[in-house]
Chains A and B, each alone.
Chain A
Amino acid sequence: MKFYQPTTLKQALKVLANEDDARCLAGGATLVAMMNANLLAPSALVSLSAVKGLAGITRRKNGSVTIGAMTRHQAVADTAALDGGQRLVREAAALIGHPAIRNMGTIGGSISHADPAADYPTALVTANATVTIENSRAKREIDAQNFFTGYLETALEPGDIVVAVSIPAGVAGAGSAYEKFARVQGDFATVSAGVVLALEKGVCRHARIAVGGCAATPIRVAAAEAKLVGSRLQDSAVAAAGVLLAAACDPIDDFRGSSEYRLMILPTILARAVSKARVRAETVS
Chain B
Amino acid sequence: MTTTVPITLTINGALHQAFVQPWHTLLHVLRDVLHFTGTKRGCNQGICGACSVIVDGEVVRGCLSIAANCQGRTITTIEGLANGNTLSNVQQAFLELGAVQCGYCMPGMIIAATALLKRTPKPTEEEIREGLSGNLCRCSGYVKVVRAVQVASERGTS
Which A residues have a C-beta under 8 Å from some C-beta of B?
Answer: 1-3, 5, 25, 27-29, 32-33, 35-37, 41, 44-45, 47, 49, 74, 97-101, 103-104, 185-186
CA distance A29 to B63 in the complex (A): 9
B40 in contact (CB, < 8 A): no
Q: Are B3 and A104 in contact (CB under 8 A)?
A: no
Secondary structure dominating the interface of A: mixed
CA distance A74 to B5 in the complex (A): 29
Q: Which residues on A sit within 8 Å (CB–CB) of B44?
A: 36-37
Q: Are A98 and B49 in contact (CB under 8 A)?
A: yes
Which of A44, A99, A185 has the largest count of B CB atoms less than 10 A from its CB? A99
Say which residue of A41, A49, A104, A185 sits within 8 Å of B61 (CB atoms): A104
Q: A37-B45, A100-B52, A101-B134 are in contact. Are A2 and B64 (CB under 8 A)?
A: no
Q: Nearest Cβ in chain A — how far from B124, in angstroms?
A: 15
Q: Which residues on B sit within 8 Å (CB–CB) of A49?
A: 69
Not counting A1-B22, A5-B69, A29-B46, a sample of 7 additional A-B residue pairs whose C-beta atoms are within 8 angstroms of each other reads A1-B3, A2-B1, A28-B64, A32-B66, A37-B45, A97-B46, A186-B134
CA distance A269 to B23 in the complex (A): 40
Say which residue of A1, A32, A37 sits within 8 Å of B21 (CB atoms): A1
Within 49-81 of B, Cβ neighbours of A (below 8 Å) are at 49, 52, 58-61, 63-66, 68-69, 71
Q: Are B64 and A33 in contact (CB under 8 A)?
A: yes
B105 in contact (CB, < 8 A): no
Q: Are A103 and B64 in contact (CB under 8 A)?
A: no
Name B21's closest neighbour in chain A (CB-CB): A1
Closest 5 CB pairs of A and B: A98-B134, A3-B22, A103-B58, A1-B22, A32-B64
Chain B: interface size category: 20 to 34
Q: Are B69 and A28 in contact (CB under 8 A)?
A: yes
Which B residues have a C-beta under 8 Å from some C-beta of A?
Answer: 1-3, 5, 21-23, 25, 44-46, 49, 52, 58-61, 63-66, 68-69, 71, 112, 115-116, 130-131, 133-135
Q: Are B45 and A28 in contact (CB under 8 A)?
A: no
Q: Are A97 and B134 in contact (CB under 8 A)?
A: yes
Q: Which residues on A sit within 8 Å (CB–CB) of B22?
A: 1-3, 44-45
Q: Which residues on B sit within 8 Å (CB–CB) of A41?
A: 23
Q: Which residues on B sit within 8 Å (CB–CB) of A104?
A: 60-61, 64-65
Q: Are B65 and A28 in contact (CB under 8 A)?
A: yes
Q: Are B134 and A28 in contact (CB under 8 A)?
A: no
Q: Are B134 and A47 in contact (CB under 8 A)?
A: no
Q: List 14 A-B contacts (CB under 8 A).
A: A3-B66, A28-B65, A32-B46, A32-B64, A45-B66, A98-B133, A99-B133, A100-B49, A100-B52, A100-B112, A103-B58, A103-B59, A104-B61, A185-B133
Which of A36, A45, A98 has the largest count of B CB atoms less than 10 A from its CB? A98
Q: Which residues on A sit within 8 Å (CB–CB) of B25?
A: 32, 36
Q: Are A103 and B134 in contact (CB under 8 A)?
A: no
Q: Which residues on A sit within 8 Å (CB–CB) of B112?
A: 99-100
